[in-house]
Amino acid sequence: MGMFEDFRFSLLGGFALSLLLVLAQDQTGFISLACGLPENSSYSDPTTDIYYISDASFVSTGAIMSVSPEFRTNEVRQQLWNVRSFPDGDRNCYYIRHTAGVRYLIRGTFMYGNYDAKGELPVFDLHIGPNKCDSLKFESASAVIYKEIIHVPSSSYIHVCLLNTDSGTPFISALELRPLRNNTYVSESGNSLALVARADTGATGSQIFRYKDDKFDRIWSTESFSVWTSLSTPLIVNAGQNPYEPPSVVMSTAATTKDANTSLNFYWDVPPNDNSGYYIYMHFAEVEELKANQYRAFNVNLNGNFWYGPVVPDYLYDFTVYSQSALTGGRFNFSLTRTENSTLPPIINAVEIYKVIQLLQTETGQEDVDAIINTKLIYGVTRNWQGDPCFPQAYMWN
Ligand SMILES: *[C@@H]1O[C@H](CO)[C@@H](O)[C@H](O)[C@H]1NC(C)=O
Ligand SMILES: *[C@@H]1O[C@H](CO)[C@@H](O)[C@H](O)[C@H]1NC(C)=O
Ligand SMILES: *[C@@H]1O[C@H](CO)[C@@H](O)[C@H](O)[C@H]1NC(C)=O
Ligand SMILES: *[C@@H]1O[C@H](CO)[C@@H](O)[C@H](O)[C@H]1NC(C)=O
Ligand SMILES: *[C@@H]1O[C@H](CO)[C@@H](O)[C@H](O)[C@H]1NC(C)=O
């Protein structure tokens, strides 16, 4: 079958760099908390224009700390300069009210920055309500970790909790909620999706794009695709009817193979015995104005079997191909292969990969929580008086 040059997706991480601002968009429905910012303080981020407020009215525990001075530079976004750390209690939670039934992208951002001057990277867990979403492990003091899930909360509030696992003090730098369209990122059975990778394929720099380029403030990072080559256009790529609306700046570059007969392959690693389901979203747009004798069409194969096609990207209009149900089986080897009559190699402009997470236990009824929250306010109880009061057993409230 010729030559195969595979690209493996690495997991999220890396550093936030500069952004380009192009389009003005409003921030309706955004909840942007700069954790550890003094109470009642706020600011607009100079690069993104995102309006951040203090997290103080969303959490009643924790200490405000600043990262060490070498991390408070212009290259490091202001949200990362402070953290809220939780030296007390096994479980500390943010309580955020929002609109019930809305699909949200919920993102925690974490940079250790040696805020406690101990130089020890902590390990801790992140929960949504009673459900564990992920564990946090840092590779360095300057590593910025983003944890994102797409979730439709059934109630009008959400608890985002940090759990102490006896491996250091939990902390958080920023917490953000972004409303998404309700016909995007839909999983079977209403399960939630945790971000594995979101890549601006074909980009040549190391820029990161988010709001305002992306009206939903998804963060798109460049991957280094040495085995592929890039195509680009200086023109605007339109979303048309595509509800995913990947940003034009991301869609205006595409990865392709060096010759038409080579497949464009990529895969991601799944830990052994991990039977999780995955969803993939591949975003395509033609970025070259094709001549009369040129034609680009390709099929998408998964693990050697036909999966979708043919894809014939429209010039300067984007199109998203995605899984309608969870992909399972522990092996996810995608191969984009030109059709017989295609004269040009396959392309891909952007790709997103998500893992299904089941947030099984339902949170306690709204009335109960409101009653407990009121009790808290009246009696001024602070320690551990947060999160879903009933689950899990190990963290039952007193
Ligand atoms: C924050 O604002 C509230 C309401 O205006 C006020 O009661 C509180 O004292 C302020 N807190 C600080 C630290 O200024
Ligand atoms: C999705 O959103 C649209 C517009 O906001 C609304 O009219 C529609 O009822 C929603 N659909 C569902 C299933 O929530
Ligand atoms: C690609 O394949 C076609 C037919 O299979 C062949 O004619 C052509 O020479 C090949 N091109 C390259 C660059 O290998
Ligand atoms: C992906 O599939 C292609 C053939 O479809 C194969 O040559 C390649 O080795 C596979 N890569 C991985 C990592 O499984
Ligand atoms: C390429 O082949 C497909 C399927 O055989 C056909 O539908 C399409 O019209 C062809 N395109 C061109 C430009 O020949």
For residue 294, give the CATH number of its domain: 2.60.120
pTM of the model: 0.85
Please choose from 39, 57, 377 the residue to mutate so as to test ligand 1's pocket, defined by most ligand atoms within 8 A of CB: 39
Verify that 174 and 69 share a domain, yes or no: yes
Neighbours of 183 (CB within 10 A): 9
Asked whether residue 95 falls in the same domain as residue 227, the answer is no
224 and 168 part of one domain: no
Q: Is there a single domain that holds both residue 151 and residue 261? A: no
Same structural domain, 222 and 101 = no
Q: Measured between alpha carbons, how far is 328 from 275 in angstroms, rounded to an integer?
A: 7
Whether residues 70 and 140 fall in one domain:
yes
| Same domain for 267 and 139 | no
Closest CA to 214 of 99, 29, 48: 48
Q: What residues make up the domain containing 130?
A: 17-180+364-395
- Ligand 4, atom 9, residue with closest C-alpha: 4
The reply to whether 386 falls in a domain is yes
pLDDT of residue 375: 40
Q: How many CB atoms lie within 10 A of CB 339?
A: 15
CA dihedral 255, 259, 262, 266 (to 10 degrees): -20
Mutate to test the pocket of ligand 5, among 338, 341, 342, 343 (most ligand atoms within 8 A of CB): 341
80 with 71: CB under 8 angstroms?
Answer: yes
| Judgement on whether residues 123 and 214 belong to the same structural domain of the protein | no
State the ligand closest to the CA atom of 296: 5
Omega within 30 of 0 (cis) for the link into 130? no
Residue 29 resides in a domain: yes
Is the domain of 125 the same as that of 165?
yes
Number of domains in the chain: 2
Question: Mean pLDDT in each 10-residue stretch from start to end of the chain (398 residues)?
Answer: 37 31 63 96 95 96 96 91 97 91 95 97 94 92 95 89 97 97 91 94 89 96 79 95 96 92 90 90 97 97 96 96 92 94 96 89 50 41 38 35
Considering every ligand atom, which ligand is closest to the CA of 3?
4
Same domain? For 247 and 291 the reply is yes
DSSP class per residue in 231-288: EE-SSPPB-TT-TT---HHHHTEEEE-SSTTS-EEEEE---TT----EEEEEEE-B-S
For atom 5 of ligand 1, the residue with the nearest CA is 40
d(CA 197, CA 223): 10
Distance (Å) from CA 291 to ligand 5 centroid: 16
Query: Which residue, by CA, sits nearest to atom 11 of ligand 3?
Result: 261
What is the 3 state secondary structure string of 147-207?
Answer: EEEEECCCCCEEEEEEEECCCCCCEECEEEEEECCCCCCCCHHHCEEEEEEEECCCCCCCC
| Other residues' Cβ atoms within 10 Å of the Cβ of residue 166 | 7
Look at residue 351 and tell me if it is in a domain.
yes
Q: Judge whether 190 lies within some domain.
A: no
| pLDDT for residue 14 | 30
Ligand lying nearest the CA atom of residue 297: 5
Nearest protein CA to atom 3 of ligand 5, as residue: 341
Do 222 and 272 lie in one domain? The reply is yes
Same domain for 318 and 238: yes
Q: For ligand 3, atom 5, which residue shows the shortest CA distance? A: 261
Ligand 2 mean position, distance from CA 182 (Å): 6
| CATH number, domain containing residue 150 | 2.60.120.260
Asked if residue 7 is part of any domain, the answer here is no
Please report whether residue 187 resides in a domain: no
Q: Residues enclosing ligand 1, CB less than 6 A?
A: 39-40
Amino acid at 308: Y
